[in-house]
Chain A
Amino acid sequence: MIGAELAIGAGAALVCGLDRIAALQIMISRPIVAAPLVGWLLGDVAVGLEIGLMVELLWQARLPVGAAIPPDDTQVSIAGTVLAVSLGKLLGQSGLEYQLLCLLIALPFGKFGQFFDRFARQYNGRKIAQSDRWLENGQFYAMERAHRMGLCCFALAAVGTYLVIICGGLVMIPLLAPLLLPSLEVSAEWLRIALPLVGISVVLGTINVSRALTLFGASFGMAFLLMWLV
């Protein structure tokens, strides 16, 4: 059963991973979409929604511009959801504290996404000389095939990252769960808002808007007072 669920996650990782850079870019790769999508496929959309909520803003400020490669928040959110739903069933664990444990373990593995992504881009770069030879020989269809092969590289990079996070999670979660779950149980709700707040602070720290702090402070104060007093 868990094998089938991991495979469903891998399928989603592939599709969403392609959307991240190589194809479409309609943003199904964003955690707020990818995690609930996987949660829905695995029969627990609420878990995906929680994980998407916590991850979405974390690397929002890292723009996928030029050669910049942000950590792979897509695979973190997908693998985090798969671990929370599937491994949770196996371990008899559920609830916000367990979702947080899965996420906190998945987060550092997101860095592997950068390595895989860089590898895919370097592999594509190595095909340039071959592509130039095809051009000289008038083999234009071969050049087009080479481009489509590039898509496969990005797909493999996405699935590779997903598998690394899943393997890391399968090893570490059963080991760390008895140690961390008791304290996570009492602090889960604080952590649930800490992650989006960190994301918001990083966006504020890096967004190029004059008077960003004034705007943020005024809007926070106004919204908070309205909720408090009304």
Chain B
Amino acid sequence: MKIVVCVKQVPDTTEVRLDPVTNTLIRDGVPSIINPDDKAGIEAALRIKEEVGGTVTIVSMGPPQADVALREALAMGADDAILISDRAFGGADTWATSSTIAAALKKLDYDLIITGRQAIDGDTAQVGPQIAEHLGIPQISYVEDIKVEDGTLLVKRKFEDRSHLLRAKLPCLLTCLSELNESRYMSIGGIFRAYKKDVQVWGLEDMKDTVDMANIGLKGSPTRVRKSFTKQAKGAGEKINVPEDEAVAIIVSRLAEKHLI
């Protein structure tokens, strides 16, 4: 089975701050990792490959530094890695990002595409389903279990109050949860192999047959960030630091005033 896994390199924390002057994210000193849901996607792909044979290709869109994330995926056992990187692709929203990644995937031969459910920096969960739509293939999101049966997939999808057991023919796109599996560590041999392999870098020129210039980068993005800001606190009320019995009496009287008791 030819499996493609789409991954994103993200900052290893949700504790990022805004620079008060430039109003941009302070990323300095924050290490980058493979997005956790995407890493579960790599693991799922490697397990399917081990079971039924095939290849695992990793695709990422991002700046040249994302090479590190792709090398990590190679060290885990992936066969090939492609970095989609070009200034023309920068500033993309989820629509333009998914259009660009779909344009790259159109150049590949695939049976199954796996993405993470959502990235921990943007939290949108939109790019996976949008890629599926651009490619015209079905999607199953929130995947928590995958079985391959006679060339079809038997997939368990988790919603809030129920799970669906679904059967899908290939090709198909899955978006998976980090709870799907425990991903393996890079092996020493894997790390050596990863640095012997080439990460292919695809720019605009390499994708000119499949990419639509109207659908990429900032210009191809239907949405724009009007402004970003750090959240305003609601504003503190009254704070008391008094003996316990007195504190209890104050709480009771406030609750009574508000008709909450």
Q: Do A and B come from one complex?
A: no
